[in-house]
Amino acid sequence: MPTTIRLSASDVRQLRRTAESIARRYNGTRRFAIEIGERSSLNTGRTAMNIRSISNDPDWEDTDLFTTHEWRRIRDRHELANGKALFDLYIYERPGIGEVGDLVCNVQAEIDAQGLAAIHADAEKNVWERPARQELRE
């Protein structure tokens, strides 16, 4: 099992498309800026973009936002913790090129060794889930 993962181009497109779709529920803006949260552990002070690497709490209430990173960082190779990663994405209005407006919502992305596994909105689990692979039939 790999200890790191780099999302495929189709996973990145799916994540962006779903995150923007969720944001449109709250805001009619045509364009959005997405940033990836880096959280810090309230217990150890360690920081990470992958929440699973610093928290075992299913609701990660033992973490706090430390900073955010540009969307392009989603294409980096990310370390998995016990085969999984969880990212907290911040979706902002984008009034103009290079401008970031008000926060619209948060979206969470679950990743495993196969890539993007599920996308959640703050109040709704599994807004999108990776389709189950169909077994080859003889």
CA dihedral 66→52→100→67, nearest 10 degrees, is: 10
pLDDT value at position 77? Answer: 96
Find all residues with CB under 8 Å of 75, minimum gap 6, and list them. 6, 7, 12
With residues binned 3-state (H G I as helix, E B as strand, rest as coil), the percentages for the chain, rounded to 5, are 15, 40, 40
For residue 24, the SS3 value is helix
What residue ranges in 8-114 does DSSP mark as E strands? 32-41, 47-48, 63-70, 78-79, 84-93, 103-112
The low-confidence residues of the chain, meaning pLDDT below 50, are: 134-138
This prediction's pTM: 0.90
